[in-house]
Structure 1
Amino acid sequence: MTVDVLAILLGAAALLCVSAAASRSKHPFRTGLLSAFCGIAGLGAVNLLSGSTGVAIALNYGTALVSVALGVPGVVTLLLLRGIFFV
């Protein structure tokens, strides 16, 4: 199994879990949209504050997908992964 296939499978599983969690609320579409907006805002805030913190997350398809699909916990995970692998 290649890395691309594994990444797609993990992304699909994460999106399925987030969709299942959002569907349990009273307003699932609004909950999912709010989570996606908070993820994009969190990614923007990290990059906006990168001048003073020295930590930035590159904006590409992968990071955008993670921040939209998983929201703020996805952005925090990206920060942790950046800290682990690029110290």
Structure 2
Amino acid sequence: MHIIQEEFNTLIDKFRYFGVVTNQLKPMAPWIKGILEDFANIHDELNDSYSEYLQLLEIIEDKISLYSKVRSEVEEKLTLNILQQLQEE
């Protein structure tokens, strides 16, 4: 989980850098914010309590599924952004 968080932070930093370099930070801001919110919603420590090992495994499985969903959304946004830039050129 910690590795995923570190990688996610690095990804967001790269998005911001990309936005600044390409002068697209304003258009990118809403979807970066949405991704941050989705990622933050995955970490719900109040509801992540468990009393049995199997419950912990279910929680982790659910989180991995949510991480995959966020990753798919990021890939879709990046692909769309790249396609739009290619059409502009």
**RCO higher in 1 or 2 (8 Å CA, sep ≥ 6)?**
1
Q: Greater share of helix residues, 1 or 2?
A: 2
Larger Rg computed on CA atoms: 2
**Is TM > 0.5 for Structure 1 vs Structure 2?**
no
